[in-house]
Amino acid sequence: MRIGVKPAISHIIENYPVDTKFVITVGYFGDHVRQYLEIAYPHRYFEFIEVVKYQGPGSSLLYSLLQAEKSLQEPFIFHASDTIVFDEIPEPKINWIGGFQGLATSSYASFDVLGIYTTSIYSKGNLKPDYIYIGLSGVFDYKEFWIIANEIIINKNFSSELGDVEILQELIKTKKINFFEAKQWFDIGNVDRLNEARVKVCDDNIHILEKLDENIFKINKTIIKFFYDATICGNRVKRMSYIGNSLPKLLAHTKNFYKYEYVDGLLFSKVRNKKCINLLLDWALCNLWTPCLVESKRNIYDLCNDFYFKKTIKRLAQFTNNLGIVDKTDTINNPKIPSAKDLIESIDLNSLCVSKSTHYHGDFILDNILLTNTNQFCLIDWRQDFGGELQAGDMYYDLAKFSHSLVVNHELVEKHLYETVQGLDSKITVNIHRLQSSVEFEYEYFRWIDKNGYNKRKILILRSLIWINMAALHERSFAIFLYYFGRYNLYNALKSNEV
């Protein structure tokens, strides 16, 4: 769960001294948690406790806590994984409980105080407590804590509702419990509070479109990429040697993560000098899109056929199935436009698949290109393969991706500056705002395309296919926009006489 440029768990980890010993219970996708923390913080101490019973009868927060009992035979802090605070957290030299004022209390456990001490601790539902309990507490009397925890879980017959609150309610009967007031607290298990946390810690210099199966984080002077699909992650790492010196330095990798050096520079989406377009494309022609033989037994024609056509048809089916949209003839921005499948099947295969194999980046967009502080170009977030081929691909795909990013700008998409409107007469209108600099860049870009003799129509067709492909990978509103926008532009590209 990313908040700003790092996941929620990093905001927790980095709130404690570097010599802190962390005992972390893991269950669902616990291996991802383990991999991330070990690659992000190689010099911190983590002990992972595998909770086999993390769901179903007998599972509970209390049950998970008890799995860590042997590792917590000393004073410790309990910090729930959905609790983000930005205050300095006290050490567990005394018993204390963390609280917050200012939210509706009925959905949270809570407590009352007198002076510096907690007087009563309530389960959810108390309407007028002094503080909400935020899932953060210091346990000095750990022996009594564990005795109580074991008694409760047995006496309550392993109820799934049990947690740390029930232990604290019993502990306060015999031990003093101070309180710690958090000035800022975000319960990121709550969607509204999660969004508030993201607003507070946003980074205006980094724009990342949400995806379900991958993520990117910035930790200190490093970038960490996550992929649910371990094959994709592994191929990304392998491809670094093929793309060469234009990439950042790889620092570490695991099955689902890799880490590379953060490069200081200016994202090309922030560059305002039109001359840089020509410099970049000339550089890529000499340093990136160099001739390269296909390693496998397939040829570039077959690779393009798989990548441009078969993959798009598969992604289209994924999109329509996920969103329940019927792919049919529609009126989009006035013209009556055939279904996406019919448009794709009407494309002449030779027009897209006859090409020369070259090295490639695979996601050659403005936000993946850096102009460094030494006026060099550095490429980030490269694609894992081209139709299954790691080394060779089609430079036209890079050209089309670059053209796409001149129209669909990540920063404006994040601000929802696009729309899909379906009128009462079922006519569909799609629009997207554009930066003036992007419009000017696009003019310079196609001037370069014409000057160097590349096929503009092919780029426009591929750009439209890219939008249709992307629709299966994003959240609903943006996905629907991409689908209709891609169809509208594909229809126009196929009608075009551009060469």
The pLDDT of residue 29 is above 60 = yes
pLDDT (0 to 100) of residue 382: 95
In a domain, 247, yes or no: no
- Count: domains in the chain: 2
Boundary (domain end) residue, out of 200, 222, 240: 200
> Does residue 43 carry a pLDDT above 60?
yes
Q: Give me the mean pLDDT over the 282-307 stretch.
A: 91
3 is a domain residue = no
Same domain, 336 and 438: yes
Measured CA to CA, the distance from residue 41 to residue 327 in angstroms comes to 47
Q: Same domain, yes or no, for 175 and 272?
A: no
Mean pLDDT within 49-62 = 93
Region 281-308: mean pLDDT is: 91
Residue 87 lies in a domain: yes
330 & 455 share domain = yes
Q: Are residues 302 and 395 in the same domain?
A: yes
pLDDT of 204 over the 70 cut: no
Residue 22 located in a structural domain: no
**CATH code at position 117:** 3.90.550.10
Higher model confidence: residue 320 or residue 104?
320
Same domain, 194 and 300: no
Q: Domain check: are 190 and 273 in the same one? A: no
pLDDT of 124-157, one tens digit each?
888 889 999 999 999 999 999 999 999 999 999 9
Please indicate, yes or no, whether residues 55 and 145 belong to a single structural domain of this protein.
Answer: yes
* Mean predicted lDDT score pLDDT of the chain: 93
| Better-predicted residue by pLDDT, 201 or 341 | 341
> What's the rounded Cα separation, in Å, for the pair 59 and 417?
44
Quick check: 105 pLDDT over 80? no
- Give dist(CA 405, CA 417) in Å, integer: 15
pLDDT band at 411 (very low <50, low <70, confident <90, very high): confident
Q: Would you say residue 178 has pLDDT above 70? A: yes
- In the prediction, which pLDDT does 119 show? 97
289 and 403 co-located in one domain: yes
Q: Are residues 269 and 179 in the same domain?
A: no
What's residue 498's pLDDT?
64
pTM reported for the whole predicted model: 0.84
62 domain residue, yes or no: yes
Find the Cα–Cα–Cα–Cα dihedral 299, 301, 303, 307, rounded to 10°. 180
193 found inside a domain: yes
pLDDT score recorded for residue 455: 96
249-267 average pLDDT score: 95
Domain boundary among 200, 223, 245: 200
Please name the residues in contact with 367: beta carbons below 8 A apart, sequence gap of 6 or more: 207, 267, 268, 269, 381, 405, 410
Query: Looking at residue 208, what is its pLDDT?
Result: 64
Can you give the CATH number for the domain in which 483 is found?
Answer: 3.90.1200
Q: Are residues 192 and 270 in the same domain?
A: no
**242 within domain boundaries:** no
Is 489 inside any structural domain?
A: yes
pLDDT of residue 207: 57
Q: Pick the last residue of a domain from 165, 200, 235.
A: 200
- Say if CB 496 and CB 460 are below 8 A apart: yes
- 466-484 pLDDT tens trace: 999 999 989 899 999 999 9
Whether 417 contacts 374, CB under 8 Å = no
In a shared domain, residues 326 and 466: yes
Same domain, yes or no: 176 and 307: no
Structural domain range at position 160: 51-200
Backbone angles phi, psi at 222, to 5 degrees: -135, 160
